[in-house]
Structure 1
């Protein structure tokens, strides 16, 4: 059985920053796949005021063992002061897909820091 797969959600302020992050995460093998979803309108409380803004959500598939590095990469690249980074474990899934996620996020010994 493959290790636990996580689905990580993270919103970005625009398509360009979302696409940069998606490519970086997959290139660095921190994510097997990143879906760049349709823009959404977010309403939230920030510093005592109700705000609303358009955002581009990413749905990121990774493994539990790669989560810490993925979160660190998102925090380093994200333009928000407090980016939304939420992870949930996939309780079920097609065995072949779950194994593919594990294989696609296996650290590459030829990359710096084993990324």
Structure 2
């Protein structure tokens, strides 16, 4: 099943407990149907230098029409000056999973 109506939106956090709390808040607010939190090693340019850090990646599954509100809420809740927020479209998925995702983010 193809569906441009859904996205996976990603952000990161430098603290595991904070990442889990952020994910729980966003799912609890029904801005995402579910979230996955897992460790990643990040290399990035910040304040004039290459930085390395262990971060916690949060992948949020949601409807595409929730992207702006979800992005705004991440900005409100996040401790980073410039939190990562990127989204990729869901190209295909099982009809039952996408139906569940739509139902859990309705309203």
Whole-angstrom CA distance in 1 between matches of 2:86 and 2:67: 11
More strand by share: 2
* Contact in 2 for aligned 1:3/1:102 (Cα 8 Å): no
SS in 2 for 1:98: helix
Using the size of structure 1 for normalisation, the TM-score is 0.87
Q: Residue by residue, what CA displacement relative to the aligned partner does 1:20-79 show, whole Å, maximum 9, x if unpaired?
A: 111101110000000111x22211111211111110001110101111111111111111
Deviation for aligned residue 1:3? 6.7
Q: Which runs of 5+ in 2 are unaligned?
A: none
Whole-angstrom CA distance in 2 between matches of 1:8 and 1:103: 18
Q: Which 4+ runs in 1 deviate beyond 3 A?
A: none
- Aligned residue for 2:10? 9
- Aligned residue for 2:67? 67
Equivalent pairs, count: 106
SS in 2 for 1:96: helix
